[in-house]
Structures are given as C-alpha cells and as structure tokens.
Amino acid sequence: MLRSILIANRGEIACRIARTCRRLGIRTVAVCSEADAASPHARAADAAVVIGAPPVGESYLRTDRILAAAREHRVDAVHPGYGLLSESPGFARAVEGAGIRWIGPPPEAMEAMALKVASRALAIRCGVPVVPGSEPVGSEDEAVSAARDIGYPVMLKASAGGGGIGMLRCDDEAALRRGFPQTRRRSLAAFGDDAVYIERAVVRPRHVEVQVLFDDHGAGVVLHERECSVQRRHQKVIEEAPSPLQDEALRLRLAVAAASVARAVGYVNAGTVEFIVDGEGGYWFLEMNTRLQVEHPVTEMITGLDLVEQQIRVASGEALAFGQAQVPRRGHAVECRIYAEDPERFLPSPGTLTVFEPPEGEGVRVDHAAEPGMAVTPHYDPLLAKVVTWGEDRAQAIDRMREAIDRFRIEGVRHNLPLHRRILASDAFARGALHTGLLAELGYRI
C-alpha cells in the first residue's frame, strides 16, 4: 500500500481523497493557491504547500511546482482528482518521470481517448456503435459539406473536448456557419486545439455512462451505469445510479461495450465510458473519461465500494479483490450538484458565504469543501457541494433528496437549490422520462 500521496487538486474532491487516505493510514499533502492557503482542503491534509497565485495557470496547472512539492515531501504517489491536470498525459508522464506513482490510467490510454475522432475509431474497431460523424474539418465549407452528408440536426464538437465544452447543436446550415468559428475559438481556449468535427445529433438523447475498474494484472470489472441526462449547457446537474432504464438487455450491452473499449485501450485504474441512448434501445459510444468522475459517489452508494480506495490499491500494484459476480447493486442513489450560480441563467455567483448548513439524515451524504466566511471567487469552478441520497428504491432516494434540498441553507451567494427543487418536483423526473433537453422543457434557456 502507498504510504504518502500528494493530492493535485482542490475543493471538495481534495477533501474527499484525503478522507479515504486518512482511513487507510496514508499521509497526504495538499497543494493550494494563495487564495486557498487556509481552505478546508488545505486543512484536510497532513501537510499543505502554497504553490502560486490564485489563477489556476499560476498554481494548480503548474506541473513544476506540484512536482517540487511532491519531491519536498517525498510522497509515493500523486492523485489528480478530476478536472485540472487529471486528464493530462504530459502531467502523468512528468509524475512517473520523477519516480512517483500516478494514480490513474497509463498516459498512452489517456492519449488514445483524448482525441474524440481517434476514440470513435477505436470504438468502431471494438464493434461498438458510434453516432455517424466526420473526420476533423478544417474550414467552414468542409463543415457544411460534412453536415449535408450526415444530415441535420448535427453537433459541432471539439475533437480534444470533454465535459460538454465546445459542443454546439446546429439545426441548419445557417446555424452551422454561425457556430463554426465560435466552436473553434472555444476549443482552442479550453484545450489548446481548435480541431472540430461534425456528428449527427440524436433527438431527445439520454446520457448514460458506465463505470469501469481495471487492475494491472489483466482483470477488470464494470461497476454498473449512471444516468446523467439532466444537464444544462451539456454540463451535468443531477446524476443517479443505476439508470432508470427499464431495458435490462440494453443495460448489459452497455456494460459489455464499456469493458470492450477499456480493454482495447489497455486501461488500468478507474474510468468511465459514456454513451448516448435513444428511446428505442439504440446506443452509441460518446467518449471515455480517463479519471474519477464528479458523480462517482452514486456508484459508491449502490456498490458499497470506495472508488478512491480502489484507485489507490490498483496504483499500489494490488490485484482486484473481487470479480464481476461479486459487484453488488443495492438500492438507488441520486446526486445533485450545488453551485454558486444564478439558477435561471446559469452564470457564476461570486461572493462570500455567510451561511452554509448542509443537510444530514438517513441515507444522506454531502461532499463539500465550503464553510461560512469562505470566498467564492471567479478563479475556480463554483461547485459548492454534492448532495447524494440513497434509498431502497428510486422513489425513496428521490424523496430523501427532496427533503435534503429543502433543509440545505446557503446565504451570501446565489445558488441553484431552486433549480433542483423544480427538477425534483417535475413529473418527467419522477417517471424517469429523462433526456438532455429536460431543462428546456421545464422552461430554462440552456
């Protein structure tokens, strides 16, 4: 077992990793910007190192400063969390080049999944369906030609993208021509690569993802699927596990497809294979996220597994202690992401938290790194907390979530608790009739 880990992240995920390490008796080192020097995540670790100014480019994205902190404290491994440098093959290689374990997949697997066109080709070789799409297009006219061949509506997508960044639906040629330069600019700003491609838009799609876990000895398991269809601007808002899909045969096909893609790329550690699903049993590979997901707690709640612990054990060289037949699926779990943002326009709401009182109760878990007096700054993602509820069935998990959201008190910044109340009260959500346009149907501009 690893003895010491540097957590190359901040906020709630850094606190969550530190919590597991403490239970396992592993020493932790936090890195933090000057703005986070006294933050909960800095205090959650056994030691904390200030590595730069508040902007992420001067702190949390500085590989040299992170590795200097790792060497100073003689850590065995680095856990990247999610976001920031978690899917950077260059950072992973730098960590390994410094003689430190990387708690994540091999850099080669990360590279294979990073470019969406290349990952689509790999899925095709595995016999996994993909949505009809193009190669990267270099000009507006090439994009228009590709869209005519594929058929409208289409999605403009950043080839190096992920997390919904750089995605735009176009219903006709005029919209495609307007959106093409905009998508390229967003892609370049977010990923340093302005390559885009065209993909057919699936009408009223569901977004379903499958959690996989592989060790370094050739063994792997599927830890069921999660439903992530409730989104705004291609960003997830509510997730649940398992999916309320009623088609067990489709559930099995998704699991088999996810395992096939992971094996084909030589995957090790925890990862997520994402799919688009329609209302008629069709499914298509979307992408693979080569890291821990924000929504991993719902999988933990239904399996009883600590995914961070499993990541650490795999990185320590251990073989998985269980096979597919030993992976439980108990009850149902729902997660609501609580942001400091305008609940109507989805714009960040910086300020100072004056009240922060998360709910408690049976079947309720809240992952957060917030406290009264804390400044919510424009430098970082405005995620305040993740509320997770578990129930014997979906109805009970939703009832517990409604009660938890009603008990949550936040003051000092605007927040999206009203959005969650409205979604949870909707008939479509209660019935599990989910798709990525649900918020638009509820009257939100997404």
- For tokens 């970082």, the residue is 380
Structure tokens at 437: 């346009």
Q: State the SS3 of the chain.
A: CCCEEEECCCHHHHHHHHHHHHHHCCEEEEEEEHHHCCCHHHHHCCEEEEEECCCHHHCCCCHHHHHHHHHHCCCCEEECCCCCCCCCHHHHHHHHHCCCEECCCCHHHHHHHHCHHHHHHHHHHCCCCECCECCCECCHHHHHHHHHHHCCCEEEEECCCCCCCCEEEECCHHHHHHHHHHHHHHHHHHHCCCCEEEEECCCCCEEEEEEEEECCCCCEEEEEEEEEEEEECCEEEEEEECCCCCCHHHHHHHHHHHHHHHHHCCCCEEEEEEEEECCCCCEEEEEEECCCCCCHHHHHHHHCCCHHHHHHHHHCCCCCCCCHHHCCCCCEEEEEEEECECCCCCCECCEECCEEECCCCCCEEEEECCCCCCEECCCCCCEEEEEEEEECCHHHHHHHHHHHHHHCEEECCCCCHHHHHHHHHCHHHHHCCCCCCHHHHCCCCC
Distance of CA 63 to the CA centre of its chain: 22
**Among 125, 94, 92, 97, residue whose Cα is nearest residue 109:** 92
Is 291 labeled as catalytic in the residue annotation? yes
Torsion angle of alpha carbons 300, 359, 446, 130, nearest 10°? 0
- For tokens 């009408």, the residue is 203
Out of 101, 184, 291, 400, the active site residue is 291
Specify whether the CB–CB gap between 200 and 299 falls below 8 A. no
**With the C-alpha atoms ordered 197, 198, 200, 206, is the resulting torsion angle positive or negative?**
positive
Active site residues: 291
